[in-house]
Amino acid sequence: MVALLPEIAALLGEPRFNWSDPTPWVELERELGIGFPADFREIVDAYGSIEINGQLYLKHPAGHLLHSLGENIRGDLELWREEDMAEYLPSPVGANPGELVPVASATTGEAVFLRVPDGPSSPWRVVVQEFDSPSWTLYEMTFGEWLLAYLQGRDVTLRARDRAPDGPFYAFLP
């Protein structure tokens, strides 16, 4: 894994959450039957439940009910499993190989998913779905690479420059 946290912190600002107890992750991973990718865990442990650029929501599994990664995943899995919603994604939601795990959302209507690898040596990938259309994009990059691209203002479906013309910023969710 490429250590991207220093590059992300250089753009976004120093993390102030710095969670070190693995218990919430272990419990959520046991419930879902997957182990989240190390870069995703590292970033979320560093920053906690935050809003980036007034647009992108990241949540930690130790967050309270309103801002809990586990609660959000459970609710989003239920939503995306509905028959009329499933057609908007390239594959089903869930924890099996090739399925999508919803991990973030945006005020602009996008949902961010991690694609479960097909095998143990395959990498995790990012899928972004535009909620107001049947459009989705698979990014052949890890979550950390995708977030760094977003913070750099590159087009990864979400656009940081539209929301943060003076540079990326974050705030803890209340």
Q: Tokens at residue 51, please?
A: 């809003």
Answer whether 0.75 is exceeded by the pTM. Answer: yes
Instruction: Give me the phi and psi of 137, to 5 degrees please.
Output: -135, 130
CATH code matching the domain that covers 5-154, chosen among 1.10.10.10, 3.50.50.60, 3.30.1310.10, 3.40.1580.10: 3.40.1580.10
- What are the Cα distances from residue 9, in Å, to 13, 16, 50, 95? 5, 10, 14, 29
The better pLDDT of the pair 149, 87 is held by: 149
**What pLDDT is stored for residue 158 in this prediction?**
86
**What pLDDT is stored for residue 160 in this prediction?**
72
68-84 confidence digits (pLDDT tens): 999 999 999 999 998 77
Whole-angstrom distance, CA of residue 80 vs CA of residue 111: 10
Contact residues for 130 (Cβ-Cβ < 8 A; gap 6+): 109, 110, 136, 157
Q: Is the pLDDT of residue 1 over 50?
A: no
**What pLDDT is stored for residue 2 in this prediction?**
52
